């Protein structure tokens, strides 16, 4: 179980939503990370 937590930010601008999202991930330096949605519900 990992207990690491960090915050980062990135900006991506492109006419296509998915491309802008990819650019934002690259800007934040987390393009090679797995994104996991977590809910307390």
Over residues 1-41, the pLDDT tens digits come to: 667 778 999 999 999 999 999 999 999 999 998 888 888 88
Residue 19 confidence (pLDDT): 97
Q: What is the CATH number of the domain that holds 15?
A: 3.30.60.30
Cβ–Cβ under 8 Å, residues 22 and 3: no
Residue 13 confidence (pLDDT): 97
The count of structural domains within the chain is: 1
Mark residue 29 as left, alpha or beta (left: phi above 0; alpha: psi -120 to 50; beta: remaining): left
Q: For the chain, how big is the Rg over CA atoms in Å?
A: 12
Residue 2 confidence (pLDDT): 64
* Element spanning 16, H or E: none
Residue 1 confidence (pLDDT): 62
Which residue range(s) make up the domain with 9? 1-40
Residue 11 confidence (pLDDT): 97
């Amino acid at each position: 179980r990992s207990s690491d937590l960090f915050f980062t930010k990135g900006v991506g601008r492109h006419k296509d939503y998915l491309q802008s999202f990819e650019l934002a991930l690259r800007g934040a330096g987390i393009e090679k990370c797995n994104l996991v949605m977590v809910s307390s519900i």
